[in-house]
Amino acid sequence: MHVLPTIPIVLLVLLSASLLVALVRATHTSQAATRDLARLLEQQKSQTVELSQRSEMDLLKDEFISTVSHELRTPLTSIRGSLGLLSSGVIGTLDPKAQNLLRIAVTNTDRLIRLINDILDLERMQSGRAPLQLRRCSLAELAQQAIETMRTLADQSTVHLELITPASAAPGDALFFDGDSDRILQVLTNLISNAIKFSPAESTVRIHVEALQDSILLKVSDEGRGIPHDKLDSVFDRFGQVDPADARQKGGTGLGLAICRSIVQQHAGSVWAQRNLGPGSTFYVMFPRTARSSDPVTPLALVERGEGSILVCDDDSGIRTVVSEHLTRQGYTVLQASSGQEAIEVATAHPLEAILLDMYMPGLSGWETLQQLRDSPTTAGVPVVVLSVLSPALRNQFTGDAQGWVQKPFNENLLFAELARVLGPGNGPAQVLLVEDDQDLASVVQASFGQADVQLDHVSTRQQAIHRCVASRPDLLILDLTLPDGDGFSLVEWLRKRPETRSLPLVVYSGREVSDREMSKLRLGPTEFLTKAKVQPQEVEELVRSMVHRIRQTPEPAGVPMV
């Protein structure tokens, strides 16, 4: 009877102990969970801080690149432009010692400019700030264009260039794909340039193009020393060199192949290198036939079409073919001549709008051909545009003989503009306004405009540009985007609001790359975008003269609102 009451007490004690143990365990679990939660929150905070720091670093990197772009390119453009004017003999003939020192200065300035441009190009591509302008391209045509561009370098190195296309297909057939033609051309010229540099004299660089089922394949083969097997991947790295001495002996920035890889990857393609069984190496590039990029396909720009017959005289059949193709697409009827004597015969027998004439030809040279054309009453009045590897600075020696000058390798837009210029009479000196805050660069640009058909005026600020445009509308504006009292965007916005300036021809000459969105904000009338250090003041002068003479022949549309 006395034992029974003790049972519930024992159970109660056991239950209390179990509850106590459970409570302790729960407390420990809760504390562990709290610690885990605290650790998780700390990790999230750390990751947030890291992401914030990365974002800040990216912003600082972009700001640094932008600063370098403007602060280095502008003075380099002034330096290179000044050296170019000295080299052209503007201030007189230099003695051999001074000429050699000037040559060294020009060579090393160009090397520094290439390095800066390559670094900035690579950064823009890898950061996604250089979107592709996709359109239908022919790999065979781009390869031929790249070969013509590199022909001078190959001739200097006594290296032969050979283009090999599928024997079973007509020229260009089945070799079309979607790509950015300018970027693809950059890849081709880089690869061919590399092959020439590392090829022995009297060897051959072969460029193969062929069509596969779903892709297009390019091969560039040389007969040089070859790339070691352990270097086949690293040559695509930044500043990658097979031999450190190559940078000094062969030149270049060490970024060409890295840029090639970035461009090819943007096109969803692939690039690689292999050592040949014999001497040399082969670089392979493969592109998909259709665009896989998210970038929109940009339509070809509409350009003013020409009319009439143009005679193209050049002893190089490849150049005649390329130039003729450009002119035919532009609307011209093209006649060809492979020699000076043939050019005289064709010009005498056919009415011509203009003649494109090479200077260096076997037999009757370009100089002699030009003189005979001028001496004949039948052809004396036909405008002649020199198409030569020689610098346009030499055109002053032929005043009254040749009306225009385009330097090889040529830009087709400049070729069309120069033709339009010589085919239309001028209306006196063109009034061009240069808006540039860097006085040194402005002086170099002004010195470049030595021709009587252009009168260049200079202002340094946005407000001065507005006052000048109000006082007298210029024929064309050359605009820097960075100004001490504003920027080029606000000046363009002001010009758009005025009926007399909303269609003003414009050349944007900026120290940094201009994005597609920014371009749409900067367009007035006919607009060109140039980058300092990439385009020298003498080239700006050529473009401006061509634009002015072409545009002044075209009546401005009235009442067309700017978008």
Mean pLDDT of all residues in 303-313: 70
**Of 166-175, 225-234, 375-384, the least confident:** 166-175
Indicate the pTM of the whole model: 0.47
Higher local confidence (pLDDT), 220 or 121: 220
- Nearest residue to 482 (alpha-carbon basis) of 516, 458, 511: 511
Give the per-residue pLDDT at 9.
Answer: 59
Sheet holding 384-388, edge to edge: 333-337, 309-313, 354-357, 384-388, 404-407
- Is 549 strand, coil or helix? helix
How many CB atoms are closer than 10 A to CB 201? 7
Q: With cut-offs at 50, 70 and 90, classify the pLDDT of residue 46.
A: low
* SS3 (DSSP) at 520: helix
What is the structure's pLDDT at 21?
Answer: 57
Q: What is the mean pLDDT of the chain?
A: 75
- What's the Cα-to-Cα distance from 82 to each of 28, 87, 146, 538, rounded to whole Å? 79, 9, 29, 10
The two structure tokens encoding residue 561:
């609102």
- Mean predicted confidence (pLDDT) in 513-541: 80
Is residue 288 predicted with pLDDT exceeding 50?
yes
Residues 495 and 454: beta-carbon distance below 8 Å: no
Q: List C-alpha distances in Å: 435 to 69, 212, 468.
A: 19, 51, 10
DSSP letter at 557? P
* DSSP class of 430: E
Q: Is the pLDDT of residue 4 over 70?
A: no
172 torsion bin: left (phi>0), alpha (psi -120 to 50), beta (else): left
Domains, the chain, ordered by start: 135-288 (3.30.565.10), 309-423 (3.40.50.2300), 430-551 (3.40.50.2300)
Residue 114 has pLDDT above 70, yes or no: yes
pLDDT tens per residue across span 126-185: 666 666 777 778 888 888 888 888 888 889 889 999 998 876 554 445 577 888 888 888
* Token pair of 386 as six digits: 């020199």
* Mean pLDDT within 379-397: 71
**What phi-psi label fits residue 486: left (phi over 0), alpha (psi between -120 and 50 degrees) or beta?**
left
Q: What pLDDT is stored for residue 207 in this prediction? A: 92
Residue 303 predicted with pLDDT over 50: no
- Confidence band for 527, pLDDT divided at 50, 70 and 90: confident
Question: Which candidate, 531, 549, 545, 550, places its Cα nearest to that of 392?
Answer: 545
Contact 171, 157 (CB under 8 A): no
What token pair was written down for 321? 């073919």
pLDDT interval class at 292 (50, 70, 90)? very low
| Helices assigned H by DSSP within 88-217 | 96-126, 139-156, 181-197
